[in-house]
Chain A
Amino acid sequence: MNEAALQVLGLRKVYANGKTALAGVDLQVAQGAFHALLGPNGAGKSTLINILADTVRPTSGLAKMLGRDVFRERSWCKRHLGVVPQEVAFDPFFSPVEILRITSGLFGCRPDESWIRELLERLGLAEHAYKNTRQLSGGMRRRLLVAQALVHRPALVVLDEPTAGVDVELRRSLWSFMRELNRSGTTILLTTHYLEEAEQLCDHVTIIDGGQVVADRSMRELMEVVAGRYLFLGYGDAFELSEADARALSAFRPRVMSGGVCLHLGGQGGEDLGFHRVYEAAVSRLGIPRKVEIRQEDLEDVFIRLTGHARKEKSTS
């Protein structure tokens, strides 16, 4: 059997202020995977990543990279790991190309100039290679962070919100770059705010909330088994769900969306609540709707259902 690229077992982190950021997390990332780590703000994603990066100390638990103990064989594991941290910051003394050379050196590799040039070009930084990093825009700085994580050609790349603040076009080029990197054998673990993109890119999803794993499946499985269908009933813009109605319909996990309400119809693998039962219950409380639709949950919906948090405002289209 193939060794997992990353295996995390019972990882816990309690910060000095008493805050439990990770309450025993298990995570397995297969070699060659494009793995999404999702969760609302404060779920503990960055804490997990920073523990792997060795910038935060774990409280207890185990982590293995390609079979090696991350906490005992730090140097070996670090050489095979590239981390894009969530916060963007650079040494003010050095230009992008100097930063890449230094990072390469710190990882024990003589700077590979052709790889550095390729990274700068692929990430749209070639013209800015000799500028001061303070002159770079937010998006450019974030891409430099990505280049920095890749400069020593790690086998596992972990990206903590790499596309925050990057505009759509550059986001796309970054994703296509990551996809290519993944195809050539690099394992990728990614956290992102863009769930549609995660749905398209990633083959496996782990969702954490409050420091615990709430879902861990292949993307296909998640979308086929966990993602269910729901009934959208449109009542117009002024619609509001009273508390009594919410209680009466609680079996269908009602969720207000602009101009109507969504009612869960059940998962494809699980119990199917049946269109008629749901519809009739809703009509008896709310009246005849103007619009009726059966929709398939996407990753965003599943995410919201499992964590109870909206990742971002979603508009009905």
Chain B
Amino acid sequence: MNSLNPYGAWTLFLRETRRFLKVHMQTVVAPALTALLYVLIFRYAMGSRTVPGLGVDYLTFLIPGLVMMAMLQNAFANTSSSIIVGKVMNVHIYLLMAPLSAMEIILALVASAVVRAFIVAAAILAALWAFVDIPLSSISLVMLYGLCGSMLMAGLGIIAGIWAEKFDDIALISNFVIMPLTFLSGVFYSVAQLPPFWQQVNRYNPFFYLIDGFRHGFVGVGDTDPYASIDLVAGATGLCMLACWLLWRMGWRMKP
């Protein structure tokens, strides 16, 4: 039997968390500032228009989407950069050498990424509080979608990190997969405003459900039924975790 090593997993969690806190200007403050700029720009650009179909003030609609987008991107960045930095600098071997199971490693990496996502979310909301009223319809929806979304992205970050061989590979995935998918999943507009074809396409975009469900938790309305999409979102998250665990156990692209 392989013995459990909860203290080791806890140490790894703390190591990952301290790593992003050490560069908090870049990992926490910068995302909050970016969100603040978006809100300021859109306030001037859009005035106090409401979103057609939902009857919500545009800024109130926009903010939860921005928060979720930042959570997703930061969760992805945390795990993917940790693994790729490790591989490029050849320090990933210390993780491989430690008596930690694949499960413990994945859990610790994901937990730290989730913590980063929530810290970033809190920072953005704190920065915006002063400018806009932010309603809160269901804290449990917010937490559930926030958790699922950041876990899913942390998992995708792990897979990307395992697959990548250099920093450029991660930048490639970030810029050409993650960014477009999050931008196009209804952060800036209601999907109901889209032509029917693109509405249909969005049905297959997992980020769409994540952002819509998360926003639902704040504003109380949305394009989908967030309680019905929970299964889908939780299922996708579970599958992603499973994939991470299997890949790590195999040592794919980590161990020659």
Chain A residues proximal to chain B, CB less than 8 Å? 15-16, 53-57, 73-76, 78-79, 83, 85, 87, 89-94, 102-103, 105-110, 148
Contact = CB atoms under 8 A, between A and B. Distances in A.
Contact of A91 (B2, B7, B91, B101): B91
B5 interface: yes
A105 B256 contact: no
Contact of B15 (A53, A74, A102): A102
Nearest to B104: A75
A105 B19 contact: no
A55 B96 contact: yes
A57 B14 CA distance: 28
Nearest to B23: A93
B8 interface: yes
- Chain B contact-residue range equals 20 to 34
A55 B10 CA distance: 22
Contact of A57 (B8, B94, B251): B251
The A contact surface, by secondary structure, is: loop
A93 B19 contact: yes
B7 A73 contact: no
B97 A55 contact: yes
A73 B256 CA distance: 20
B166 to A, nearest CB: 16
The 9 A-B pairs of least Cβ separation, nearest first, read A105-B11, A78-B99, A106-B98, A75-B99, A75-B2, A89-B90, A108-B5, A55-B93, A108-B8
Nearest to B93: A55
Contacts of B45: none
Interface of B: 1-5, 7-8, 10-12, 14-15, 18-19, 22, 86, 89-91, 93-101, 251, 255-256
Contacts of B4: 75
Given A74-B99, A91-B91, A107-B98, 14 more contacts: A53-B93, A54-B97, A76-B2, A78-B97, A89-B90, A91-B89, A92-B89, A102-B11, A105-B8, A105-B12, A106-B11, A107-B5, A108-B99, A109-B7
A74 B4 CA distance: 11
28 contacts: A16-B256, A53-B93, A54-B97, A55-B93, A55-B96, A55-B97, A56-B256, A57-B255, A74-B2, A75-B2, A75-B3, A75-B99, A76-B2, A79-B3, A87-B90, A91-B86, A91-B89, A91-B91, A92-B89, A103-B94, A105-B8, A105-B12, A105-B15, A106-B8, A106-B98, A107-B5, A108-B5, A148-B94
A83 B98 CA distance: 10
A170 B256 CA distance: 33
Contacts of B89: 89, 91-92
Nearest to B18: A93
A229 B4 CA distance: 55
A57 B3 contact: no
Contacts of B101: 75
Contacts of B11: 102, 105-106
Contacts of B2: 73-76
A67 to B, nearest CB: 15
Contacts of A93: 18-19, 22
Nearest to A72: B2
A89 B92 CA distance: 10
Nearest to A92: B89
Nearest to A80: B99
A90 B95 CA distance: 12
B97 A83 contact: yes
A107 B256 contact: no
Contacts of A83: 97
B98 A85 contact: no
A57 B15 contact: no
A76 B8 contact: no
Chain B CB count within 10 A is highest, among A16, A54, A55, A107, for A55
A78 B98 contact: yes
A53 B256 contact: no
A15 B256 contact: yes
Given A53-B93, A73-B1, A89-B90, A107 B99 contact: yes
A104 B223 CA distance: 50
Contacts of A90: 91
Contacts of A15: 256
A106 to B, nearest CB: 4
A54 B91 CA distance: 14
